[in-house]
Amino acid sequence: MLTELSIFDVVLIERVRLSFDKGLTAMTGETGSGKSIILDALGLALGARADRALVRAGCKQAQIIANFCPEPQHPVWALLEEMELGDGPDEELILRRIIAEDGKSKGFINDIPVSAGVLRKTGNLLVEIHGQHDGRGLMDTRTHIQALDAFGELQGDVNRCSQAFNAWTNAKKQAEALALQAKSDASEQIYLQEAAHELDRMDPKPGEEQSLASMRNVLMQSEQLLGDIENARKQLDDMPGPEDQIGSALRNIETALTRMESAQSDDPARKSLLRTQNALEQSLVELDEARLALQDAAHKLSVEPEKLEMAEERLFELRALARKHKTSVDQLPEIRRELARRLETLENLEHAQVVAAKEVSKTKEAYQKCVTGLSKKRTAWAHKLDKAILQELQPLRLEKARFETKVDVVEIDAGNAIGINRVSFEISANPGTPLGPLSSIASGGELSRVSLAIKAAMADKSAPGLMIFDEIDQGVGGAVADAVGRRLAVLSQENQVLVITHSPQVAARANVQFQIEKSEQNGVSTTKITPLEKAQREEEIARMLAGAKITDEAREAAKALLGS
């Protein structure tokens, strides 16, 4: 529901703030007073194309703010959550649009900047505008199938078809992916098998590259190393009898210790001699170990030349294999495991394709069953809707009109989430003319009355919202205008309805009436919008009945209309 509309510097409107309530609201005023400006301004807040001509002369920008209060279950909240513009139903939804004097615009939803397209998507869920050549509401043929489904209360069937369609679509995507994979199966399998065989032959181990590189470095220097080891060994062997000298020293120390037998065990000199004795005995042992270690090192470095060649060959092969797979040598074992997984997938591909094909057939059959049943229901409800609309057209001076809800059926493969039907409302407003789309109706008044008839026929099935009717009373009066007013009043029991009208019979049915007047001061024209009290309404409706000169008879007639 629209609760407030604020308009600043739009064409002839300087500043106005209008409050709205439930029920039927009428806007009246003389031709040229600026009633269309209200719709233009609201349209901007709903995402209509910005036009610099809408900015009031001499102003830097125009601004329009539309405050809505949708019900918690209204679909607009789901849309906003999907677009990450809110976490769920709030108390109020504010659409704001700013148009600069150069024609550039900015849009906001609850003060969050959005594009005009997002405003338009949101606005389409909040407002239906029925008027000549208006692209919203029933003039958009895409809404016809939604209207038929709402009339027949088929949303549950539509949801089931949507789920079946999604299951079928997902099954087809899976089958197509497997088919695409199968195309490259043969060549890829050969490549994978060869690559896996090569890796199996090499059998790389983690850390092997570093180990081989170190071995290669040592082997390349083995000749020099052997020379160094031989020199060390010779120096040990050529020392002037180190064992004899150490043995002689040990004997002297043993003699000294014998002479000190009477000395205390903690005597410092005795302790030092014992330490010296232990060190010399250990040096003899370590000297022998040093000779053995040098012999062992020389033996290990005395290798065949083939060992270096083998180490180099393996190291270079591993590095070449790593470059081939665009990885490191340490990652080659993981590459081998990945190749094994891919080979296993290819080997199971044929079975997977068979399973996928069965799933496609199964889900298509389920979808076909679902949409076929839905199509039959739509056709049946279309006839009922036609009868209901024709009954509503008769009192609106369209009794000779023909109306048909056309339900076309497409092939299953051309179906979508809402079924296999293409629904369109077609009408012939005059005898002898063929049925055609609603847009073929030339008269804006006729088009609005047809829209009213459709909405009236669906009054208890439509989702609550704001509906705007423009020029609905064009070319009609008397009983027809009264019938229009009555149907608008009925429609406003379940929906918020705004009507721009020249008809006193229609205005009298409104719960609230605004008067739109244009005035001029100092050569500047402005449009003023005033909510009318009871006495003011009587005077305005009297003006609508009598014209420029309001008579007492017109005032009495206005009171009668308001009291009826």
The domain ranges of the chain are 187-340
Q: Spell out the long-range contacts of 223-229 with Cβ–Cβ below 8 A and sequence spacing 24 or more.
A: 225/297, 225/301, 226/298, 226/301, 226/302, 229/294, 229/297, 229/298, 229/301
Residue 408: pLDDT over 90? yes
Nearest of 452, 363, 362, 372 to residue 411 by alpha carbon: 372
Looking at residue 92, the DSSP 8-state letter turns out to be -
Give 410's DSSP letter. Answer: -
Secondary structure class of 401 (helix, strand, coil): coil
User: pLDDT tens digits, residue range 211-265?
Assistant: 888 777 766 666 566 666 667 767 666 665 666 677 777 777 777 777 777 666 6
- The answer to whether 71 touches 77, Cβ cutoff 8 Å, is no
Q: In what order do the strands lie in the sheet with 512-521?
A: 127-130, 466-470, 496-500, 24-28, 512-521, 524-531
Neighbours of 119 (CB within 10 A): 23
User: Residues 463, 70: contact at Cβ < 8 Å?
Assistant: no
Q: How many Cβ atoms are within 10 Å of 12's Cβ, its own excluded?
A: 18
- Nearest partner of 516 among 21, 23, 41, judged by Cα: 41
% of the chain at pLDDT higher than 70: 89
d(CA 222, CA 545): 120
Closest alpha carbon to 29 in 556, 539, 514:
514
Q: Look-up: residue for tokens 């057209």?
A: 393
> Residue 382 corresponds to which amino acid?
A
Residues 6+ apart with CB under 8 A from 50: 44, 97, 99, 103, 104, 105, 116
| CA distance linking residue 329 with residue 214, whole number of Å | 15
Q: Could you tell me the sign of the dihedral formed by the alpha carbons of 427, 429, 432, 437, in that order?
A: negative
Helices (H), 467-551: 478-491, 504-508, 534-546
User: Per residue in 333-363, pLDDT tens?
Assistant: 888 888 888 777 777 788 888 999 999 999 9
Q: How confident is the model at residue 133 (pLDDT cuts 50, 70, 90)?
A: very low
Show the DSSP H helices in 85-207 as ranges.
Answer: 116-126, 144-151, 155-183, 185-202
Identify the weakest region by mean pLDDT among 187-196, 223-232, 311-320: 223-232
Band of residue 310 on the pLDDT scale cut at 50, 70, 90: confident
Task: Give how far the C-alpha of residue 412 lies from the chain's centroid of Cα atoms, to the nearest Å.
Answer: 28
Note the pTM of the prediction, 2 decimals.
0.62
